[in-house]
Chains A and B, each alone.
Chain A
């Protein structure tokens, strides 16, 4: 596999995953607001805090109203992580490697791209905020399904897996953090109706509500949600699952390329993160601070990303 192709594959996968998570994050915020009406004058501002876009937003927009945040988040081309920017970037990468993709996958990406070029705020009026993001999420599920059903499991698939899983682990941690950025419930509210509904919204955004209930029943509390989205070994949107998958795919790439283990070497950021997620406990994390733990997850993800770039994607 050419290094240039690996680079395009990695970034195509990341941008698709990122676009999907932006849709999920917008969706969870929408639900949090619906489930628990707030007196906060800017209930959409937390979305910007979660993605670290406060400053960028302030450059172009006046106040974080629902309309403006949704526009910034969804269509704004000056926002390097808006859903539209991500779709454009994913398609641009895909265009450079469409000979390596199945024609079904390319067709799906290109159709999404062409459709996205016609988006404007009117889509929220036509489909509703929920309807728009729900449809979009289904498009991404279709993309995942097409990839799963049509791509051979080879080194190229592994590179895509690494990109997808890295982006996903980072975004799961952001999603978990999203409640931190909302007004913390009063102590007496913890475990109350509002708290429960907010955590349910987080789970639903990760497509995790039903799977959670199978394990924990209808008892939705922070301990269970953290345990499930951070440490579950089998759920496809838990951090642990993502990093396990990443490590496995990276090991196959390193084997195939005949190179010394780097991403999978003991002491590497990838191995550190995998260990923290395999050996961690919800109790410990909640005691020492969930937000701090999630920030560490995100830092380690960034380190893994730069290591992959240095080792396999950059070429002189």
Chain B
């Protein structure tokens, strides 16, 4: 037998399989495709390796997806949807085709992310401190003072190392020009990191040989990095600080993540009723009595944190917590009032912030943003409102976003009315043609996975402590509905594993 010839014909058969598989892929007419070129052919390099693997395992991929879903359900990797029937748990749909980011692109992203979060953190410290950036007129004072996320209670709290933002999740999109842009910042209680780690775990169980051969950077160090960052903001004097994670409870949409992170870090998961403040210190109620807590990683909003200072009807928080923070008896991550930095209107000033605090040029550009409080801009946007994305300034999770070209006349009329009544509460941005990625959308008659482009975004996570730490990867969310641009889990989105290449 002529082994060489047999090998050649095998290779040829393989290549023709790969080609025929991808010939069926219909490229998106406008958006940047992360894996394929304009004709729907996989790009060279890692994309090609992935495309080949996908084509040769196309019979398996639909099954892999089903197995992943089953794994998530059995393990209880679920989220709760608000407004759904009480306690309904759903899995976050998982798409097994990973998104790949090469090492050079990642290096730039990482530098840009660190730069950005450093500036946002400096901004929070400044706003609740001297207010230099406001006095210098770089950011308008009334924009801050009227922000729904501005918290007077944050004045007088001085966290160690000046860290207000311990955990940041920065949402990035890639426009048609392939350039990553910041879409929004999340510096209150960003969630999603547990899915990054779980998605990877699932992928290493399902396609171990591929992950090994392609050289993917590990994400499993995140909990250890988070714990280190939390320990670094402990009040001085605590040599082995006690850290606890504060959850609103089992019915919160991100409860799984709270459980996962506390378990991975080996810290207590507490609810408000487990905590009590006394003598300017924070304690948890244990079977053996009270035990002091040095750092509280909270996953509840400011408004519910301390009924003495914020909403008096909150049952989720700890009465007196703010006073403990001011006395330096405990540290909080993220700090109170960090939401002023991820306000959608303040976002327009983030490039100026980076220049102001760091004297550097922004590495990551933002999307053009029009503040509708400005009469000129308002006039311009209202004239062609169906050409813009309108976002409420204080919300998160994709709630209240109106995409002009997709909105009905009635929605547009309502939005116009809202803007005219409350111009401070809205911003507008041009529609970004966000990138797409091959995604499994069903299966063909022959049992192979059917693959089509779907829009994706990206949320990497940045930690601040004594030094910044960036998770090499992040949450890639995918809008599973054809043509949809909304990737939020609460609105029909799914997720993909994100592979940052080692080299």
Chain A interface (Cβ within 8 Å of chain B)? 1-4, 6, 92, 95-96, 98-100, 103, 106-107, 110-111, 114, 155, 159, 253, 256-259, 312, 315
Chain A residues contacting B286 (CB-CB under 8 Å) are 1-3
Compute how far the CA of A259 lies from the CA of B288 in the bound complex, rounded to whole angstroms.
Answer: 7
Task: Write the chain A residue with the least CB distance to B269.
Answer: A99
Chain B residues contacting A2 (CB-CB under 8 Å) are 268, 270, 274, 284-287
Chain A residues contacting B153 (CB-CB under 8 Å) are none
Chain A residues contacting B269 (CB-CB under 8 Å) are 99
Chain B residues contacting A256 (CB-CB under 8 Å) are 287-288
Chain A residues contacting B260 (CB-CB under 8 Å) are 99
Chain A residues contacting B75 (CB-CB under 8 Å) are 103, 106-107, 110
Task: Write the chain A residue with the least CB distance to B284.
Answer: A2
Determine whether the beta carbon of B74 is less than 8 Å from that of A111: yes
With A2-B286, A4-B271, A312-B287 as known contacts, state yes or no: A114 contacts B74, CB within 8 Å: yes
Chain B residues contacting A155 (CB-CB under 8 Å) are 287
With A2-B268, A99-B263, A110-B75 as known contacts, state yes or no: A315 contacts B289, CB within 8 Å: no
With A2-B270, A315-B273 as known contacts, state yes or no: A258 contacts B289, CB within 8 Å: yes
Determine whether the beta carbon of B273 is less than 8 Å from that of A4: yes
Asked if B447 lies at the interface with its beta carbon under 8 angstroms from chain A, I say no
With A4-B274, A92-B250, A259-B288 given, name 20 new contacts (CB 8 A).
Answer: A1-B287, A2-B268, A2-B274, A2-B286, A2-B287, A4-B273, A4-B285, A95-B255, A96-B250, A98-B259, A99-B263, A107-B75, A114-B73, A159-B287, A253-B287, A256-B287, A256-B288, A257-B289, A258-B288, A312-B287
Compute how far the CA of A67 lies from the CA of B271 in the bound complex, rounded to whole angstroms.
Answer: 43
Asked if B262 lies at the interface with its beta carbon under 8 angstroms from chain A, I say yes
Q: How large is the interface on B (under 10, 10 to 19, 20 to 34, 35 or more residues)?
A: 20 to 34
Compute how far the CA of A99 lies from the CA of B273 in the bound complex, rounded to whole angstroms.
Answer: 18
- Which one, A92, A99, A253, contacts B262 given CB within 8 A? A99
Q: Closest Cβ of chain B: how far from A4's Cβ, in Å?
A: 5
Determine whether the beta carbon of B285 is less than 8 Å from that of A315: yes
Asked if B398 lies at the interface with its beta carbon under 8 angstroms from chain A, I say no
Chain A residues contacting B250 (CB-CB under 8 Å) are 92, 95-96
Determine whether the beta carbon of A110 is less than 8 Å from that of B263: no
Residue contacts A-B, CB under 8 angstroms, 14 given: A1-B288, A3-B285, A3-B286, A4-B271, A4-B274, A6-B287, A98-B263, A99-B269, A106-B76, A107-B75, A110-B74, A114-B73, A256-B288, A315-B273
Chain A residues contacting B274 (CB-CB under 8 Å) are 2-4
Chain B interface (Cβ within 8 Å of chain A)? 73-76, 249-250, 255, 259-260, 262-263, 268-271, 273-274, 284-289
Compute how far the CA of A253 lies from the CA of B286 in the bound complex, rounded to whole angstroms.
Answer: 12
How many residue-residue contacts, CB under 8 A, span A and B? Answer: 59
Q: Main SS of chain A's interface residues?
A: helix
Determine whether the beta carbon of A110 is less than 8 Å from that of B76: yes
Q: Closest Cβ of chain A: how far from B230's Cβ, in Å?
A: 16
Chain B residues contacting A106 (CB-CB under 8 Å) are 75-76
Q: Closest Cβ of chain B: how far from A178's Cβ, in Å?
A: 35
Compute how far the CA of A159 lies from the CA of B269 in the bound complex, rounded to whole angstroms.
Answer: 18
Task: Write the chain A residue with the least CB distance to B261.
Answer: A99
Q: Closest Cβ of chain B: how far from A6's Cβ, in Å?
A: 5
Task: Write the chain A residue with the least CB distance to B288.
Answer: A257
Q: Closest Cβ of chain B: how far from A68's Cβ, in Å?
A: 28
Q: Closest Cβ of chain A: how far from B201's Cβ, in Å?
A: 11
Compute how far the CA of A312 lies from the CA of B250 in the bound complex, rounded to whole angstroms.
Answer: 22
Compute how far the CA of A110 lies from the CA of B271 in the bound complex, rounded to whole angstroms.
Answer: 22
Chain A residues contacting B262 (CB-CB under 8 Å) are 99
Q: Closest Cβ of chain B: how far from A230's Cβ, in Å?
A: 31
Task: Write the chain A residue with the least CB distance to B258.
Answer: A99
Task: Write the chain A residue with the least CB distance to B266.
Answer: A99
Q: Closest Cβ of chain A: how far from B326's Cβ, in Å?
A: 26
Chain A residues contacting B273 (CB-CB under 8 Å) are 4, 315
Compute how far the CA of A260 lies from the CA of B270 in the bound complex, rounded to whole angstroms.
Answer: 26
Chain A residues contacting B76 (CB-CB under 8 Å) are 95, 98, 106, 110
Chain B residues contacting A92 (CB-CB under 8 Å) are 250
Q: Closest Cβ of chain B: how far from A153's Cβ, in Å?
A: 16
Chain A to chain B: the 4 pairs with minimum beta-carbon distance, closest first: A99-B263, A257-B288, A99-B259, A99-B262
Chain A residues contacting B270 (CB-CB under 8 Å) are 2
Compute how far the CA of A283 lies from the CA of B255 in the bound complex, rounded to whole angstroms.
Answer: 55
Task: Write the chain B residue with the least CB distance to A113.
Answer: B76
Chain B residues contacting A99 (CB-CB under 8 Å) are 259-260, 262-263, 269
Task: Write the chain A residue with the least CB distance to B291.
Answer: A2
Compute how far the CA of A258 lies from the CA of B274 in the bound complex, rounded to whole angstroms.
Answer: 19
Task: Write the chain A residue with the least CB distance to B71.
Answer: A107
With A4-B273, A99-B262 as known contacts, state yes or no: A257 contacts B287, CB within 8 Å: yes
Counting chain A CB atoms within 10 Å of each CB, which of B262, B271, B273, B287 scores highest?
A: B287
Compute how far the CA of A131 lies from the CA of B63 in the bound complex, rounded to whole angstroms.
Answer: 31
Compute how far the CA of A110 lies from the CA of B89 in the bound complex, rounded to whole angstroms.
Answer: 12
Chain B residues contacting A100 (CB-CB under 8 Å) are 263
Counting chain A CB atoms within 10 Å of each CB, which of B74, B249, B262, B268 scores highest?
A: B74
Chain A residues contacting B249 (CB-CB under 8 Å) are 96
Compute how far the CA of A103 lies from the CA of B75 in the bound complex, rounded to whole angstroms.
Answer: 8
Compute how far the CA of A312 lies from the CA of B289 in the bound complex, rounded to whole angstroms.
Answer: 10
Compute how far the CA of A13 lies from the CA of B270 in the bound complex, rounded to whole angstroms.
Answer: 21
Compute how far the CA of A100 lies from the CA of B255 in the bound complex, rounded to whole angstroms.
Answer: 14
Compute how far the CA of A110 lies from the CA of B268 in the bound complex, rounded to whole angstroms.
Answer: 22
Task: Write the chain B residue with the least CB distance to A93.
Answer: B250
Compute how far the CA of A257 lies from the CA of B10 in the bound complex, rounded to whole angstroms.
Answer: 69
Chain B residues contacting A95 (CB-CB under 8 Å) are 76, 250, 255
Task: Write the chain B residue with the least CB distance to A95.
Answer: B250
Compute how far the CA of A258 lies from the CA of B73 in the bound complex, rounded to whole angstroms.
Answer: 41
